[in-house]
Chain A
Amino acid sequence: MSQSFQIWKKQGTTFHLVPTEKFKTTTVLVTFSAPLEEQTLTSRALLPYIMEKSTAAYPSMKALREPLETLYDAGLYADASKFGEEHVISFQLDIVRGDLVRHETLLEEALDLLEQMIFYPDLTEGGFREQFVKQEKRLHALRISSLYDDKMRFAQQRLLELMAPGEAVSLPSLGTLEALEQITSSSLRDTYRSMVEEDRIDVFVVGHVTQDEMEDALSFLPSHAEKVSHYIPAQKQVAGVKRSSETQPIKQGKLHLGYRVAVDPTSVDSIRMQIVNGLFGGFPHSKLFMNVREKESLAYYAASRYAALNGALYVYAGVETKQAERAETIIGEQLTDLKAGVFTDEELTQTKAMLINARRQILDQPGQLIGWLNGSKMRGLTLEDEIHIIETATREDVVRLAATIELEAVYLLRGEE
């Protein structure tokens, strides 16, 4: 494994570059990060949907998308997401390498469109165009209500609300229908201006590009005073297990459990915590899969996920509603075993091998590379460092970290019984 990464700061923007020739594409991601707040969330969630539809110079979807098609299906998209206690609006360009299609200026032409999208939106009417805003508000309302139709996501959202009512981490990432109502084309313009003027900017590039070429190509980025990040939530105490359930006319029940994990997300222990999660429910050899599914045939899926930034661990299982109680008992027993060190050396070795395999594979996908760079910036560790930490973690580390896991909430979406 010998991939180099370059990270530097210039005029308040942090650049992350992965120079490589192995891909057929160049990927550029520009992110704008601000504190996650209820008042701005819905407006910031809607903004990218409007910005990716048109710009001042390309004033319709057709006008903007036609050149992208001609440039060999250049991907150019805007998106919004939550990252701990920050809200991130991102613009991504994904473009075929010019030498493969004998089109030398391909990257430059595509970067121009990226610049147009971010810095020259269609504000000719003072705000964003009324017609687009009206249309996109309606579509966004549809997106928000469709969350109900995806039962796994629905149940997870309910669990988050149960764990941290009213807090940033449990805010729905698309925003709320009530807040959406209030948005106007001029309020959206204000949201846009604050994004460009106030947010912290990060740039990620993966491809056959040098540091100089990259600074040159992205010289359109504004110069800012350096901004600090504030995505890491405070640690929380558990005060008893909260429970909630609802019934819907569905075939399969969804059992979601939320645990608090007292591990600092910037610490080396947060890497080791992934071994604990791996033993518990991260893989097909994990305790949850082997016991809830293979041994008891109670579920098709039963898995866990460690969300380092949220200081939480979640367990999900799709079960027959009348078996939910039994499934919860078995899940609890697996955690008790883990805390007591009841796992074999083979399980530990296997979990480490899987985690290391997954880390090496990150280098083979531009999107995953960027995701890893973004997620690991708070730790300042290299991929090699992470692999070394996993390799050298001990059984004692696992038991020590498992001891910090505490059940906080149980949500059950009941089906027909």
Chain B
Amino acid sequence: MEQVTYHDTDETVFFEQLDNGLAVYLLQKKGYEKTYATFTTRYGSIDNRFKKDEQWVNVPDGIAHFLEHKMFESEQGDVFQQFGRLGASANAFTSFSRTAYLFSATSLIEQNLETLIDFVQDPYFTAESVEKEKGIITQEIQMYQDNPGWRLFFGLIESMYAKHPVRIDIAGTPESINQITAEDLYTCYQTFYHPSNMVLFVVGNIDPAETLALIKANQAKKNYADRPAIERDYGVEPKAAARKRVELELDVKTPKVLIGYKDTSLGGEEQLRRELTSELLLHLLFDQTSSTYLALYEDGLIDDTFSFDYSSEEEFAFATFGMETEDPDRFITVYEKLLAARPVFEETEVVRKRNMMQGKFLRALNSPEFIANQFSRHALAGTNLFTLPTLIASITKEEIEARFDELFALENRSISIVKPYA
């Protein structure tokens, strides 16, 4: 078992890759009551075309999320109940590129951990239960259809991407999920839930050696044949945004605007640096201390619903910012004018933003959930969460300024607007 202590965060991570390929990470949080564990596969909503037995197969949209729901059914009954009996709360989520299963508990940690590993490694679907799930997921999709923020976001993604499956709603559509069969679920399961495609992270007041021993003994009981790397196909996506602007009418009182700049992902360490540089750039441009924000605020064009984000995965990346506003077009005209002149940043501002990002990171480390989820995301991308403080400190003003030119090219931009019915 490897062990690395990161002094600038005062945290120690234990690591071992098991014989079957599973990557296990453990982090001891002294004084914490809760233990939080995530079991994550690098498989999300975008993985709808892949190779199985040398053949390319296409599966219905929304199947990764559907599979996540169905994993909670086992031959012994409902998995939620099993965790409930052990006093733990369990959950799962599906994103564009990952599916994670998790529990948090304050007692019976060993039983809970075995339950987590065992249920994720034991698929069980019947035709009848697959049919029943369709009603529930259809209601979940409809709930999101009424959520203006969700519609705004997916309006933007659909508009930015021409082909890449990131443009498809994570849950699919009522029509696409209706096509899903138990057989499809097994196909996806067998392709993506091999231990070599997964990360197990446990954080809490644990004894790392004992926890690792338990995980190893559990895995030794199961037979996994070695397996070649997974081949996935996301199509060929042009660099520029596919469409300039989309508008949607919904039952809302206040219009909402979201602006996106499509970026490319370099993958791995290089992309991590690009991600952090982009975040520093967005903070410099749009924080409440920026001249852009000030100008927009004085014009009455910006409020506390304003937010920005840089989304970065191995397969895609984009920056977004937006808010609720009575007049989206006026906001667009004014922000364009403000960004038209390439902003010049002061060295002191850059130092301040680096401090801010360091502090934000340290504050987030109070949360076992943040540590487990983010560490797993980084581990699956071949990067390390705990290198963030050093990386942030090393990013220069020049890099940030160069990032501005790359990211804010007009051909990368899409605009999504949700407005009241006319």
Give A contacts to B, CB under 8 Å. 1, 20-25, 49, 60-62, 65-66, 69-75, 94, 96, 100-101, 135, 138-139, 142, 145-146, 148-149, 151, 248-252, 283-285, 293-294, 297-301, 318-320, 346, 349-350, 353-354, 356-358, 360-361, 363-366, 415
Contacts and interface: CB of A to CB of B under 8 A. Distances in A.
A300 B34 contact: no
Given A24-B365, A145-B254, A146-B254, 8 more contacts: A24-B9, A61-B293, A62-B288, A65-B289, A69-B355, A285-B84, A357-B87, A357-B105
B142 interface: yes
29 contacts: A20-B31, A22-B30, A23-B366, A25-B366, A49-B304, A66-B352, A73-B360, A96-B359, A101-B358, A145-B254, A146-B252, A148-B252, A148-B253, A149-B251, A149-B252, A248-B251, A251-B145, A252-B143, A297-B139, A299-B139, A300-B142, A346-B85, A349-B85, A354-B87, A356-B87, A358-B89, A361-B104, A364-B33, A364-B368
B80 A284 contact: yes
Contact of B34 (A60, A73, A364): A364
B287 interface: yes
Contact of A69 (B107, B251, B287): B287
B241 to A, nearest CB: 27
Contact of A72 (B143, B326, B355): B355
Contacts of A318: 139, 142-143
Interface in B32-85: 32-34, 78, 80-81, 84-85
Contact of B363 (A94, A135, A139, A148): A94
A318 B106 CA distance: 31
Interface string B295-323: 00100100111000000000000000000
Nearest to A299: B139
Contacts of A360: 33-34, 106-107
A357 B83 CA distance: 12
Contacts of A366: 366
A283 B83 CA distance: 12
B72 to A, nearest CB: 9
B140 interface: yes
Contacts of B135: 297-298
Interface of B: 8-10, 29-34, 78, 80-81, 84-90, 104-107, 132-137, 139-140, 142-143, 145-146, 148, 251-254, 287-289, 293-294, 297, 300, 303-305, 324, 326, 352-353, 355-360, 362-363, 365-368, 421
B81 A285 contact: yes
Given A73-B357, A366-B366, A65 B142 contact: no
A65 B287 contact: yes
B88 A357 contact: yes
B106 A357 contact: yes
A350 B84 contact: yes
A135 B84 contact: no
B34 A62 contact: no
Given A24-B366, A299-B139, A300-B143, A146 B324 contact: yes
A353 B84 contact: yes
Contact of B359 (A22, A73, A142, A285): A73
Of A135, A283, A300, chain B has the most CB atoms within 10 Å of the CB of A300
Contacts of A101: 358-359, 362
Contacts of A66: 289, 352
A357 B107 contact: yes
A189 to B, nearest CB: 22
A243 B367 CA distance: 43
Contacts of A350: 81, 84-85, 87
A357 B86 CA distance: 10
Contacts of B297: 61, 135
Which of A356, A357, A363 is the most central at the interface, judged by chain B CB atoms within 10 Å of its CB?
Answer: A357
A320 B141 CA distance: 12
A390 B289 CA distance: 48
Nearest to B91: A284
Nearest to A323: B139
Contacts of A251: 142-143, 145-146
Given A24-B363, A96-B363, A361-B106, A61 B146 contact: no
Nearest to A142: B254
A145 B32 contact: no
Nearest to A297: B135
B288 A61 contact: yes
Interchain residue pairs A-B with the least CB separation, the first 5: A72-B359, A297-B135, A353-B87, A73-B359, A22-B31
A66 B291 CA distance: 12
B136 A300 contact: yes
